[in-house]
Amino acid sequence: MFESLSDRLTGSLKDLRGKGRLSASDIDAVCREIRLALLDADVALPVVRAFIARIKERAKGAEVSAALNPAQQVVKIVNDELVGILGGETRRLTFAKNPPTVIMLAGLQGSGKTTLAGKLARWLKTQNHTPLLVACDLQRPGAVSQLQIVGERAGAAVFAPHPGTSIGGGENALGVSAADPVEVARAGVAEARAKQHDVVIIDTAGRLGIDAELMGQAAGIRDATAPDEVLFVLDAMIGQDAVSTAEAFQDGVGFTGVVLTKLDGDARGGAALSVREVTGRPIMFASTGEKLEDFDVFHPDRMASRILGMGDLLSLIEQAETVFDAKQAEDTAAKIGSGQLTLEDFLEQMMAIRKMGPIGNLLGMLPGAGQMKDALASVDDKQLDRVQAIIRGMTPAERADPKIINASRRLRIANGSGVKVSDVNQLVDRFFEARKMMASMAGRMGMPGARKQVQ
């Protein structure tokens, strides 16, 4: 899922790296690539158009921000816009003030409603809810018993017409299919109230295509049960049809949220990227397999960074943006790149970084930080306090040019900051090592000023 889209988007953004300045034609070229990547991923054309227009507009005005280099700014803009079309904030379920909360599932046959009913029930149970599944899909042979099976797996009670007689595919023989789904839904909610279930999940019938009868029945169930949430279940693999199906359900039944299923398939992802923009309804859950555990709340920001394949780099960029003074950050980046970082800068950076939280967490967000894990585990805030004290014990000249810190200066600094000479030695050695390492990393990441570095 999203793999080829992800590869293409990352590829087009990679071309920008190392550019100190972006021209209008650089922006046009990257937008063209993004547009093709989205169209190939089956994203609906109006969505693509609006997306590209917003990126262009923002990218052209981006030069005013000095906090990030131009390529980083474009990555951030693309990411922001992706999060936006995926819905922005994570949308949680709304629970009724007076239980039971009624959740109705609607969607085409085979979209994964019955499976989802089990997944939702299991997930709700982990949060101490007591869901009741109600079988209102009386059309598809075997749907009632399928719901009973998933209910059993999820450890949730199932309310079905003629309980106890429908297992084994005997619905038709027993005349259950003749039952009225609207009545079953109503009775299911009453049952939940009587038996103290705090959530009711109503599985409804779907057809292979959209038809008036299906919509009429779903609307009847909706009117009879006044659901708190109507979830439209959408198979992510149906490609371009996703948009028209979603629109038909929105007109016919209306829904409060979308659940995308089969995200584990090799679908190109267009459904996910179009449905929110077209219907204005948030994607609330994502289903990624046939097992009940293959299910989670949908987080637009995580999905966007997964699509862009940037790990948590973007959240790091964002935190850095809020903490660092833009001009200072740019100067420091240039100094890092050229290997001219001073202890003074180091101290300033450290203070800024510390404002962002425990250092281990922060460094852990960097892509490729895996190899550095052991080193990171040994960094603690107390050590940083000591480092800070040592640097504060130095004169401005020593901070600016640590090479002048000879033996007698080391002794003076150690005495002044209440540490051993060996601590000062260690800090100075480490600083030189870190400066070298950061300069070479900066070179590899294409940071501004890095090309001066001969490595």
Residue 112 assigned to a binding site:
yes
Residues of this chain, 260-279, that bind ligand GDP according to CB under 6 A: 261-262, 264-265
- Shortest CB 434 distance to ligand GDP, Å: 46
Chain positions 106 to 135 lying near ligand GDP, rule: CB under 6 A, are: 107, 109-115
Burial class of residue 80 in the structure, from the number of CB atoms within 10 Å of its CB (0-12 exposed, 13-18 middle, 19+ buried): middle
Neighbour count for residue 99 (Cβ, 10 Å): 17
Closest distance to ligand GDP from the beta carbon of 286 (Å): 8
Q: Annotate 357-396 with DSSP letters as a single string.
A: S-HHHHHHTSTTGGGGHHHHHT--HHHHHHHHHHHHTS-H
Is 110 annotated as ligand-binding? yes
> Which two structure tokens, joined as six digits, stand for 117?
């009913």
Task: Show the binding pattern over residues 338-357: x = contacts ligand GDP (CB under 6 A), - = does not.
Answer: --------------------
241 annotated as a binding-site residue: no
- d(Cα 392, Cα 396) in Å, to the nearest integer? 9
# residues near ligand GDP by CB under 6 A: 18
Angle among Cα 94, 251, 258 to the nearest 5 degrees reads: 35
206 is in an annotated binding site: yes
Closest approach of ligand GDP to the CB of residue 113, in Å:
3
Indicate the residue among 113 and 410 with the shorter CB distance to ligand GDP.
113
Shortest Cβ 154–ligand GDP spacing (Å): 13
Does 195 show up as a binding residue in the annotation?
no
Tell the smallest beta-carbon distance from residue 222 to ligand GDP (Å).
Answer: 17
CA torsion sign, 388 to 69 to 36 to 61?
A: positive
Within positions 357 to 416, which residues make up the interface with ligand GDP, using CB under 6 A?
none
Contact flags string 205-244 toward ligand GDP, x per CB under 6 A: -x--------------------------------------
Long-range contact list for 426-434, CB < 8 A, 24+ apart?
427/387, 427/390, 427/391, 428/402, 431/343, 431/346, 431/402, 432/402, 434/346
- Whether the CB-CB separation of 435 and 339 falls below 8 Å is answered with yes
One symbol per residue from 279 to 298: x for binding ligand GDP (CB under 6 A), - otherwise; what is it?
--------xxxx---x----
In the complex with ligand GDP, the residue whose CB is nearer, 57 or 293, is: 293
What's phi and psi for 346, nearest 5 deg?
-60, -45
Q: Is 449 annotated among the ligand-binding residues?
A: no
414 assigned ligand-binding residue: no
Closest CA to 84 of 51, 116, 133, 57: 51
Question: Among residues 149 and 359, whose Cβ is nearest to ligand GDP?
Answer: 149
CA gyration radius, the chain: 29
Closest CB to ligand GDP among 260 and 310? 260
How far CA 416 is from CA of 396, 412, 427, in Å, comes to 15, 6, 15
Q: Which of residues 145 and 261 has its CB atom nearest to ligand GDP in the complex?
A: 261
Residues that bind ligand GDP (CB under 6 A): 107, 109-115, 206, 261-262, 264-265, 287-290, 294
